[in-house]
């Protein structure tokens, strides 16, 4: 029977080891939810890294057996591969360049070699299970070479590729020494998807300028094949966030927040630790607010959650120190005996706590320097069951193309962010509701299930189109 193979760098579960025992933690992430219905069905499979180095072969076998019970197939990475493929090429070359922060990028041959080899490792595992007629859907920037590698081994197989981070303009992309190999790898897919029209356009432009290919509208002709490149803005599990709003645990936490903050207005900020998220600029804008508008002192709180991430990469460690310093300075400068301007947490929280915060916060401040989509903005909107609250959103986030009823800001313009906070604090309820209702309609309709269905249907259409072309 024809099966679907999902491939991503990480599996939708994470493994941790305590006293020789391996424990599986299921991911709450949007992709895991959206693709859950796909990979759990029949003999479908999800291939990826379980997020932990497991050296002993017996342990690897044990973990593989356990994961196979739920249609998951692990790709084990050595510490050296984690250093050079994951931290190195993926997160110190591709990540900064694709997020327009090329000054942070390193171009190391050893990291490229590891990237190539790990993509091959994924290919070898996929080839053990893939059969002609299967559908393979590959996700994200850690696996850009994989579509081409699989295509070389299985020329007829159906391959979809989706990139979850931005695709930069040609001028940035061309900085990467291995740019042609990367594009050739990606063009092994039949259908390629990006979050925004701009990312799609940048990819098409880079392909036509770097490779000897023909592009016509959104179709690239390469190696006698037609590859379709399209825009699929990713959604979230809207119903889940709506339902969480009446979960007794969430209601209790909202009650606690009300007791704690009483009349205070709450501005919410939630990100993974990342320099692309604009956390330092956001702090500057909040500091400017307190400086220019002392009337808010004692009345407005910035509730800031930074979720630990990639903290073995040097720039992330430095950013963390800088955030600690800046939060300390602002709190020391403006705090009163009874009030702290910033409540800062460097840890992750269960989804119930996030839901309570989304429900309680008057404003959600999402100001990345660059972001493929940004799902926090959509989660805030989905959680506002009363249709109130204000979203302030960076124009550099993919979500800003859809959530046009947010207050849209340039994240480099500190003064504009400060003014947006003032506008949000002053916004009449009717205006909040008008905007929020529009955004909720959109987030509800274009949810994660819609996104998965749209991509899979389109992949099938593209395959049929290719077959018709061959038959002609
Ligand atoms: O946004 C891209 C992405 O790879 C997501 O898929 C993932 O949730 C996030 O970045 C964190 O990535 P990781 O912890 O795997 O480096």
| Residue 41 CA to ligand 1 centre (angstroms) | 25
| 68 has pLDDT over 90 | yes
Query: Relative to the CA of 310, which ligand 1 atom is closest?
Result: 16
How many CB atoms are closer than 10 A to CB 59?
Answer: 15
Task: Flag the least confident range among 133-137, 313-317, 374-378, 387-391.
Answer: 313-317
Q: Is 118 a residue whose pLDDT tops 90?
A: yes
Alpha-carbon distance of 228 to 2, in angstroms, equals: 22
Q: Distance between CA 300 and CA 281 in Å, rounded?
A: 18
Q: How many residues does the chain have?
A: 472
Q: Which of 81, 236, 309 most suits a substitution to test ligand 1, by most atoms within 8 Å of the C-beta?
A: 309
Contact 275, 369 (CB under 8 A): yes
Residue 340 buriedness (CB in 10 A; 0-12 / 13-18 / 19+): middle
DSSP annotation of 413: -
The count of other CB atoms within 10 Å of the CB of residue 30 is 21
Residue minimizing CA distance to atom 5 of ligand 1: 164
User: Which residues make Cβ contacts (< 8 Å) with residue 203, sequence separation at least 6?
Assistant: 167, 186, 192, 194, 229
What's the CA-to-centroid distance between 36 and ligand 1, angstroms? 17
Q: Which DSSP helix (H) or strand (E) runs through 32?
A: helix 30-39
Per-residue pLDDT band for 27 (boundaries 50, 70, 90) equals: confident
Q: What token pair was written down for 192? A: 């390629």
Q: What is the ipTM of this complex?
A: 0.95
pLDDT band, very low/low/confident/very high, at 29 (cuts 50, 70, 90): confident
Residues 32-56: what's their mean pLDDT?
Answer: 88
Give the number of the atom of ligand 1 that is nearest the alpha carbon of residue 8: 6
Is residue 182 within 8 Å of residue 144, measured between CB atoms? yes
Q: What is the pLDDT of residue 470?
A: 79
All residues at 6 or more sequence positions from 150 whose CB lies less than 8 Å from its CB, including other chains: 123, 126, 127, 130, 136, 157, 159, 188
pLDDT at position 464 over 80: yes
CA distance 240 to 382: 9
Structure-token pair, residue 119: 């993509």
Centroid of ligand 1 to alpha carbon of 155 (angstroms)? 30
Listing DSSP states for 319-374 in one string gives: HHHHHHHHHHHHHHHH--SS--SEEEEES---HHHHHHHHHH-SEEEE--SSBSS-
Measured in angstroms, how far is the CA atom of residue 241 from the centroid of ligand 1? 21
pLDDT digits (tens, 9 = 90+) for 383-404: 999 999 999 999 999 999 999 9
CA 331 – CA 243 distance, rounded (Å): 35
CA of 229 to the centre of ligand 1 (A): 22
Query: Are residues 63 and 15 in contact, defined by beta-carbon separation less than 8 angstroms?
Result: yes
pLDDT at 249: 97
Alpha helices in 179-247 (DSSP H): 179-186, 197-210, 238-244
Which residue minimizes the CA distance to atom 14 of ligand 1? Answer: 309
288 alpha carbon to ligand 1 midpoint, in Å?
Answer: 31
Residue to substitute in 164, 375, 376, 399 for testing ligand 1 pocket (most ligand atoms within 8 angstroms of CB): 164
Instruction: Convert the pLDDT of each residue in 306-315 to its tens digit.
Output: 999 988 888 9
- Work out whether the CA dihedral 292, 296, 297, 300 comes out positive or negative: negative
In this prediction, residues 357-379 reach a mean pLDDT of 97
pLDDT at 18 over 90: no
Q: What is the pLDDT of residues 190-231, one digit of tens each?
A: 999 999 999 999 999 999 999 999 999 999 999 999 999 999
> Where residue 32 falls among pLDDT bands split at 50, 70, 90?
confident
Q: Which of 190, 274, 371, 405 is catalytic?
A: 371
* DSSP annotation of 397: B
**13 forms bridges with which residues in the sheet?**
26
Report pLDDT digits (tens) over 264-273.
999 999 999 9
State the catalytic residue, choosing from 134, 139, 140, 164: 164
What is the reported pTM? 0.96
pLDDT tier for residue 471 given thresholds of 50, 70 and 90: confident
Q: Is 310 in the pocket of ligand 1 (CB under 6 A)?
A: yes
Distance CA 178, CA 7 (A): 23
Q: Is 99 a catalytic residue?
A: no
234 lines ligand 1 (CB under 6 A): no
What is the band of 20 on the pLDDT scale with cuts at 50, 70, 90? confident
Give the per-residue pLDDT at 34.
77
| Active site (annotated) includes residue 247 | no
Q: Is 139 close to ligand 1, i.e. is its CB under 6 Å away?
A: no
pLDDT tier for residue 250 given thresholds of 50, 70 and 90: very high
């Amino acid at each position: 029977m024809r099966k679907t193979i999902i491939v991503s760098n990480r599996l939708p579960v994470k493994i941790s080891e305590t006293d020789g025992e391996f424990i599986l933690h299921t991911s709450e992430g949007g992709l895991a939810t959206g693709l859950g219905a796909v990979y759990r069905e029949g003999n479908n499979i999800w291939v990826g890294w379980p997020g932990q180095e497991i050296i002993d072969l017996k342990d690897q076998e044990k973990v593989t057996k356990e994961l196979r019970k739920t249609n998951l197939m692990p790709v084990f990475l050595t510490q050296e591969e984690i250093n050079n493929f994951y931290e190195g090429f993926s997160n110190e070359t591709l990540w900064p360049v694709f997020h327009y922060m090329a000054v942070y990028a390193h171009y190391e041959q050893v990291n490229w070699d590891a990237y190539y080899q790990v993509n091959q490792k994924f290919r070898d595992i996929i080839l053990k299970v893939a059969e002609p007629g299967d559908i393979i859907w590959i996700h994200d920037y850690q696996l850009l070479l994989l579509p081409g590698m699989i295509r070389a081994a299985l020329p007829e197989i159906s391959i979809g590729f989706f990139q979850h981070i931005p695709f930069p303009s040609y001028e940035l992309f061309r900085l990467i020494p291995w740019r042609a190999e990367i594009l050739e790898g990606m063009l092994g897919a039949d259908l390629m998807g990006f979050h925004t029209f701009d990312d799609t356009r940048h990819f098409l432009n880079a392909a036509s300028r770097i490779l000897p290919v023909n592009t016509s509208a959104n179709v690239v002709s390469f190696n006698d094949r037609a590859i379709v490149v399209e825009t699929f803005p990713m959604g979230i599990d809207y119903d889940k966030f709506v339902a969480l709003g009446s979960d007794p645990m969430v209601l209790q936490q909202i009650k606690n927040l009300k007791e704690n903050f009483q009349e205070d207005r709450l501005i919410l900020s939630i990100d993974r630790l990342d320099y692309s998220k604009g956390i330092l600029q956001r702090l500057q804008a909040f500091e400017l607010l307190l400086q220019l508008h002392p009337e808010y002192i004692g009345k407005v709180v910035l509730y800031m959650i930074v979720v630990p991430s990639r903290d073995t990469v040097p720039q992330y460690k430095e950013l963390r120190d800088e955030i600690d310093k800046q939060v300390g300075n602002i709190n020391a400068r403006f705090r009163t005996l009874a009030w702290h301007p910033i409540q800062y947490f460097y840890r992750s929280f269960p989804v119930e706590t996030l839901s309570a915060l989304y429900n309680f916060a008057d404003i959600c401040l999402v100001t990345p320097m660059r972001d493929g989509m940004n799902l926090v903005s959509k989660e805030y909107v989905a959680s506002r069951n009363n249709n109130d609250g204000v979203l302030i959103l960076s124009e550099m986030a993919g979500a800003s193309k859809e959530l046009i009823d947010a207050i849209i800001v340039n994240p480099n313009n500190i003064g504009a962010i400060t003014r947006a906070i003032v506008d949000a604090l002053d916004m009449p309820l009717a205006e909040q509701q008008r905007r929020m209702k529009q955004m909720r309609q959109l987030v509800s309709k274009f949810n994660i299930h819609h996104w998965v269905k749209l991509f899979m249907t389109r992949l099938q259409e593209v395959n049929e189109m290719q077959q018709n072309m061959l038959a002609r």
